[in-house]
Amino acid sequence: MNEELVFSSEITTFRIFSKFFNPSFCNPSTMRKIFIFALLSLFSPLFPEVMRWESKCLVDTNDSSKQFAFIFIPKNGSSTFRKIVNTFFVVDFNPSDFQDSTKVLIVRDPLFRPISIYSEVLNLRFEKERTIHENFYINRADIVKSFKQFLHIIKDDFYEPHITHQHTFLDEKELSLSDIDFVLLFENLEADIKLFCKLNALPFQIFCENSSNSYNKKILKNLIKSDQEVRDLIYSIWEKDFELYEAAKSRRSEIFNSIY
């Protein structure tokens, strides 16, 4: 499993520690997870190479009996979800926790997800020593040329963890879309999270879209729309994710229609 664990912010850690002094939040199992997560949150910057991406167990700050299993997928709005939904996160070490939790998943259109993946790889958070010697990084000033080179390089080598297929994060947990209680779409993220919060009596924070490198992202989005060869290459790399996305749209409609 080629994943890395991304931890919550200092605000999240503050919320976690504040619960130690809340008498209504004294479930031993939950407290143990909170304590472990708090320690990892403090020390993870010192050991980034040993941390792994994991799904999160969300616990409602007002009702500790209300738990959600958030299935983490990189570059699918997980950070946005974490900021908007006013709950705090506990690392989910035990896959069996999924059985008793409300399962939440965000799925993204695989046609445009590579833009965010490409931008993230250029940030050199992982695999820096290899990336800086790749042609797409050397030629990054020419974003169209660089992006095409990037796609060709990763076609047969998912060397950086952000490139991982979306379906992998379900497969490794032996889950399918039929097991998911709430399927949200990245392309409709604000509205979907707002509805999710409403249905689960959770507070909703104001949505602030990430506008970093918006000009370059616009260029690459237009490239994908206009270049059939690029679209074919993306499809060949993430073929199963296209199937997942179509199924996710149907599953989302099924879930929300059943509620209303």
Residues 43-57 have pLDDT tens digits of: 444 433 333 455 666
Each domain of the chain, given as residue ranges in start order, spans: 10-109+165-199, 113-163+211-239
Higher pLDDT, 24 or 105: 105
Residues 104 and 189: their CA atoms lie apart, in Å, by 13
Residues 78 and 70: their CA atoms lie apart, in Å, by 9
- Token pair in block for residue 194: 């707002």
> In this structure, which amino acid lies at residue 227?
D
Q: What is the pLDDT of residues 107-166, one digit of tens each?
A: 999 999 999 999 999 999 889 999 999 999 999 999 999 999 999 999 988 888 899 999
Are the C-beta atoms of residues 197 and 203 closer than 8 Å to each other? yes
